[in-house]
Structure 1
Amino acid sequence: MVEPNAMNRVEPVKSKSVLQEIAAHKRQEVDARKIQVPYQTLKANLGNATLPDIHGRFQAALAPSGIQLILEIKPASPSRGVLQTELDLDGILAAYNTHGSAISVLTDQKYFNGNLQLLQQVASSTHLPVLCKDFILDEYQLLEACLAGASAALLIVKMLDETLLKQLFEACIHLGLCPVVEVQDDTELNRALSLSPPVILINNRNLDDLSISNTPTQTLAPKIPPEIIVISASGISSESDIDKLTPYAQRFLIGSSLMQTPPKALPEKLNLFLAAGSSPNS
């Protein structure tokens, strides 16, 4: 069993905009870590580390045609609170490793009860590429993700200005990380497309109020060039959800519903997801 720090509670969001509050705290958190381990020290650690070649791993895993699942490890969330008080990581990974194309790990501690140690443990226990899912606003976090074993990193367009988005995107490419660029509306999609990203993630959850709708995937996916991998994320909890979304996307990131499923029941649930996506009526 894995017991992340403060697993028995999750910090509630208090401000009007969920993302604004999380981003403000994340900046303070990263600044504090940079004092403990300076940027140049972290960069030197990365240069001295013996790490596998991650160039292209995430994209290659999602490239095959048909339904591909990115399966998430998320101990808690602001919308649902604590999802698992103790993680049976061995049980979860036994299912994920045989049914998934990639794994996503939440590394935010305050709001999701995750951390980089969890990502490192997952990366060392799977053959699948791992996405570092966090609120990334500093290249420092990308260095941390690389050292922890990530093959990809999430860049949320909504929380990054033009300059910072481009800087972080280019830093990902330089480090060998696949930049997974997250969007929710047409304005964000246009900003993402200007970068020619390998992967775009469409978030069906509104990051201001945490509401969920399939509309983002249904409206944005048809506007994305076919050479870009499209991931639909959030609000996917049943076979019918996948059936509704497969006309628009074939890669799905699934988290909360899996975290609320006992590990022994995960293979059956994941088989149903895969079957739904490949059924004649989907």
Structure 2
Amino acid sequence: MEEITGLLNKDNMDALVAAVSAFGLKLLAAIVVFVVGRWLVGRVTRLLEAGMKRADTDPTLISFFRNIIYFGLLTMVVIAAVSQLGVQTTSFIAVLGAAGLAIGLALQGSLANFAAGVLMIIFRPFKAGDYVEVAGVAGSVEELHLFTTKLRTPDNKIIIIPNAQVTNEPITNYSALDTRRLDLQFGVSYSDDLDHVRRVIKEVLDAEERLLEDPAPTIGLLTLGDNSVNFAVRPWVRSSDYWGVYFDLQEAMKKRFDKEGISIPFPQRDVHLHQVAS
């Protein structure tokens, strides 16, 4: 009886030693896979980051893709290391896929804003400092994030717009080009000499040093209105001088018209009273 018990104990010990040895080898293999895989992930991430920097990619986009690639590859390394321990990873991958689908459905709006932010960072319809009109709002671009765009309005208000709204509507970038055209309109009376008016307008434009000579300003009779003859005045300026010239030119034109006796009519209505005998 004692011999049988000793034999069983010996068999159990041998089995235990074999099991521990096998598990130890698996654990060692898992550790090696994780350590080597993590080193490779870091190496690949650094190479991709260096490549994006050489391609002059936006820093925000570089940071985002670096993190996404790093944690995505690291997840694959962890799954490979766990599989070395004999754990079935098929169900684990299925759970991750289901969780990712559920998160994606719950964050549809945020993902739309994110996709729009990535597209804007890649295609660059505007940059920080540009004066733009987007989603019905005009202002200077303060910051462009992956989910939102921050604008500062001329009256010093900060407006944050979801990127999906920015890309779903037309974008007007007033700062994209170095020059802009002023679209001005001046109305004069039908009794004024049109040649005289045209000459006065040209003299006022010539006196404004900030106007560009090329393209040359355009002065033309636009419409014969109900109350006035309307001239279209189209000079060109540098984008940075737009509003300064816009305000100063209208003031200078009004003062010169007054000096030259050119009237700027406004809508009037004549009322005739008829006395009816009682």
* TM-score, length of structure 1 as denominator length: 0.21
TM-score by length of 2: 0.21
**Larger helix fraction of residues:** 2
Which has the greater radius of gyration?
Answer: 2
* Structure having greater relative contact order (Cα 8 Å, sep ≥ 6): 1
